[in-house]
Structure 1
């Protein structure tokens, strides 16, 4: 098996394909005219007309392809009238060059090409019959023209396929560019939302704690004020961690989801009473940064709500890596009268968590279970 050298076929590296065909056609015209034996002036007039129209075609083709095709169609019809009257095959050569080049063009429609070809074949047959040419010429000339025309049509189909492939490639590039631009905008929006939520949650809670601490200091209750300051310190640490997670998602260096959840469990155990369990099932694999961060933030918010509304109660976290999705479930026991309302969960709130999960194609739900004795948050993101 031979392979095409890099850069295309040898003839394509010399000049564009259409230019090579023009040169070859011009050479055939020159050879035909030089070797012509016809003395009749009107036949030479036909030859001159063919040459002039060929030159016009070469000039017009790069800029006016449809006009060039019309000129070439006219130049192909004229030699067909003198095929029978000519003493040699010059007219046939002219006709083959003109018609072959015309049928290889992509500008004219298929119906026009078929019509011009049919008229040329008919005129050739009539001309040969009227001039009492031998049967070999009457049958051979149209057959030769037909074969060369079919070869040119094959070239036309190849050109059309190449043009369609190029157009499809251009469209694919445009679609990919638009998809990349849309993905970049969506990622920027997601990061901006994450940072907004982090700042709104952390700074808002921090402001409340510091205002309370200030009021307690004014009353002289330094111990309570110190507790509020310590709480403010923890809130600042949590906000800084969440901001780092958002930036890590932007850079794509988010830690693995199981490792991040283990860190959250360890932080919760160190800061709050009560038992926290983590159960991971399925084959763990790395998720997209946005999906991993959304599940990490949902778990963090669920633990924060459990500490606030069910301090000291047991919290169970389960993470399952399925074939098509990753499932997260955080459940905590809590007295029914202290359960948060489903639409007013403190912190980011269910609405914010749902929106962040939805941005990565996932779903999130939170509801009471076990006759109101448990609060369960469930999230799922595709892989």
Structure 2
């Protein structure tokens, strides 16, 4: 197919997304297997690495805060927390490039709360919907909500005070694997 044909561009986009989904699935499988081992990297270390990758791609520094005493989580809860940070950073880079991001992990007696916020981009209200529709994306947050529910948690995402906020809460009962 000539490179100017729209079918080729769409096919290449689909292939790229399929590759990304495959890499994510393999990473999930590796994390699930590693979660069964005692020497698995703590969530804080994994999130710190994600933040480093985000910044290495030319984005501004992420303000990472960890409150409370980090502790091991059930595999499902740890994966939900990791994926929440990963998706929030990806969305910030995609929809608000160059804008500051804040990530907070808050360990309490009630469980773990993950909050990621970034400044909203300055653009027309419809431009975000158009960009989302043209990207073929839009399932990331829904998938995160499903992951949260699997471990008894909740996920909310939306605009708040000039920022986009993604908020995950995993209950303390999800801390220990059964």
Tell me how far apart the structure 2 counterparts of residues 340 and 264 of structure 1 sit (CA, whole Å).
27
Partner Cα separation in structure 2 for residue 302 and residue 271 of structure 1: 15
Q: What secondary structure sits across from 2:45 in the alignment? A: helix
Q: Please list the CA deviations of residues 242-297 of structure 1 after superposition, one character each: whole Å capped at 9, or x if unmatched.
A: 52233321452453110110011011111132231111010110101110001111
Whether contact under 8 Å (1:316, 1:331) holds in the other structure is: yes
Q: Find the aligned partners of 2:25 and 2:44 in 1 and give their Cα distance.
A: 17
Q: TM-score, normalised by structure 2?
A: 0.73
- Asked if 2 retains the 8 angstrom alpha-carbon contact of 1:317 and 1:330, the reply is yes
Change beyond 3 A, Cα 1:273–1:357: same
Match of 1:375 in 2: 164
Pick aligned residue for 1:249 from 6, 18, 32: 32
- Give yes or no for the alignment of 1:321 onto 2:107: yes
* Richer in helix (by share): 1
Q: 1:333 to 1:260 in 2, by over 3 A?
A: same
Pairing 1:52-201 to 2, within 5 Å after superposition = none
Provide the TM-score with structure 1 as the length reference.
Answer: 0.36
Pairing partner for 1:272 from 58, 61, 67? 58
Aligned residue for 2:109, secondary structure, equals coil
How far apart are the structure 2 equivalents of 1:237 and 1:286?
A: 28
Q: Which runs of 5+ in 1 are unaligned?
A: 1-213, 220-224
Greater Rg, structure 1 or structure 2?
A: 1
Of Structure 1 and Structure 2, the greater strand share is in 2
Distance 2:107 2:101 in 1: 20
Counterpart contact for 1:310–1:333, Cα < 8 Å: yes
Q: 1:270 to 1:367 in 2, by over 3 A?
A: same
Partner of 1:259: 45
Structure 2, gaps ≥5 residues long: 173-178
Q: Say which SS state the counterpart of residue 67 (structure 2) adopts.
A: strand
Give the structure 2 partner of residue 123 of structure 1: none
